[in-house]
Amino acid sequence: MQAYQFYSKLKNDAFSLIYMGEFDDELTGLLMRIQETSTGEDRSMKKRMSYLIAECFQNIIRHSDEEKDHDIDLTSKMFMMRSQRGTHYLASSNPIEKSNIAKLSESLESLKNLSEEELRKIYLEALGNNVLSEKGGGGLGLIEMARKTKNPPKYAFESINEQFANFFFQLMLDTEGKEKDHLEINDTIELYEEMVNSNIVLLRKGDFSQESILPLFQLFESNLQLKKEDLVFKKKSLYILIELLQNMNRHAEVIDGNKEGLFTISFKNGIYIMETGNFVKKENAAKLKEHIDSLKGLDKKELAKRYKEQLLDDTVREDHGAGIGIIEMFRQSDGEIMYKFTDVNEHYSFFTLKATL
């Protein structure tokens, strides 16, 4: 189980969203919505972020070089959004041909030392010139991103093989003007590698209120390879996803005004693993533990019986779950449900729930 490990790693993030996989325009809209429903920024900031997300995405879609013979690994492209101490970061990673590195570096370097006024001039020139690169971007996107963030983008290239390198690109929007403790491009590369090693295709940290989890259902439904799966699997996995996230929504303790938690989906060899992690009060942990343990090792028939009991039981407050959600998770996941409590301090435990599909 990895939820706590990633939670600790991202503990300073008020919000994080990392997506690994295939990129298309539909996804752009979804991730914008996740951003809009999740961060507590004012409208102009959200608009600016949305704009940059779109640009960042266009960049990934437009400039990824694909290996023709065999597909580059599914997880090789990344989009990342993080907010830390009032500063927002957008980062992307995609494979490019090494022969394109020199040209790309040159355009990026040329933007680094320009003032706002100079950037504006270059932008207008690029617009007027109508000189577009074969990929249709013409550097306008890069110039615009530099203008909107008021910070030069950070970037790096990491070799994949003889022909390809991963292009890491990172933007910073500084809302509070604090100059220290900023995330560097190396932090992003490191995180990317951990994501790849853990086979994570989606990670989301922050607030898990109903409003912010709804777009995640849509994201899961329309992306993450699920389109290719059969209907039975699709339905079951979405059902379990809904239960997991709403379970977290119901039981997570509110920390600093947020229902703080972390959620990951991993995908490897056709198996999906979903994990949620959130804080629970220690006195509630024992009850939760007892409930889950009582379901372990039950066969389908016994689980169905427990389900029926809960369904017919009118004394429990069903709006608070009453454990029926966890019974359903056990019933519908043919894999397994695992859990873990990690001691955090004298009041709270970190509760990880893991479903394998």
Partner 1 sequence: MSDSLIQEGTEETPDVQFDRTANVFKISGRSYPENAMEFYAPLISWMESYGENPNPVTNLVVDLEYFNSGSVKQVFKLLYAVEDILETGKEAKITWCYKKGDELMLQKGVEFQKFLDIPVVLQEG
Is 239 a binding residue for partner 1 by CB under 8 A? The answer is yes
**Residue showing tokens 């951003």:** 35
> Which residue in 199, 310, 349, 352 binds partner 1 (CB under 8 A)?
310
Is 102 a binding residue for partner 1 by CB under 8 A? The answer is no
Rounded to the nearest whole angstrom, what is the least distance from the CB of residue 6 to partner 1 in the complex?
A: 25
Please identify, using beta-carbon distances, which residue of 95 and 215 lies nearer to partner 1.
215
Is 299 a binding residue for partner 1 by CB under 8 A? The answer is no
Binding region for partner 1 (CB under 8 A) out of 140-148, 161-169, 255-263, 303-311: 303-311
Q: Are 78 and 93 in contact (CB under 8 A)?
A: yes
CA distance 27 to 35: 12
Please identify, using beta-carbon distances, which residue of 131 and 231 lies nearer to partner 1.
231
Please identify, using beta-carbon distances, which residue of 250 and 289 lies nearer to partner 1.
250
CA distance 220 to 201: 10
Give me the DSSP letters along 284-316.
HHHHHHHHHHHHTT--HHHHHHHHHHHHH--SS
> Which residue in 12, 107, 210, 225 binds partner 1 (CB under 8 A)?
210
CA distance 258 to 281: 15
Is 242 a binding residue for partner 1 by CB under 8 A? The answer is yes
> Which residue in 150, 235, 268, 287 binds partner 1 (CB under 8 A)?
235
Contacts with partner 1, 322-341, as mask; x by CB under 8 A = --xx-xx---x---------
**Residue 135 CB neighbour total at 10 angstroms:** 14
Give me the DSSP letters along 14-79.
EEEEEEES---HHHHHHHHHHHHHH----HHHHHHHHHHHHHHHHHHHHHPPPPSSS---GGG-EE
> Which residue in 214, 285, 298, 338 binds partner 1 (CB under 8 A)?
214
Rounded to the nearest whole angstrom, what is the least distance from the CB of residue 298 to partner 1 in the complex?
A: 17
Binding-site residue total for partner 1 (CB under 8 A)? 29
> Which residue in 21, 137, 138, 321 binds partner 1 (CB under 8 A)?
321
List b or e across 102-131, with b for residues whose CB sees 16 or more CB atoms inside 10 angstroms: eebeeebeebeebeeeebeebbeebeeeee
> Which residue in 96, 114, 156, 238 binds partner 1 (CB under 8 A)?
238
CA distance 9 to 222: 28
Q: Which residues bind partner 1 (CB under 8 A)?
A: 210, 214, 217, 230-232, 235-236, 238-239, 242-243, 246, 249, 304, 307-308, 310-312, 317-319, 321, 324-325, 327-328, 332
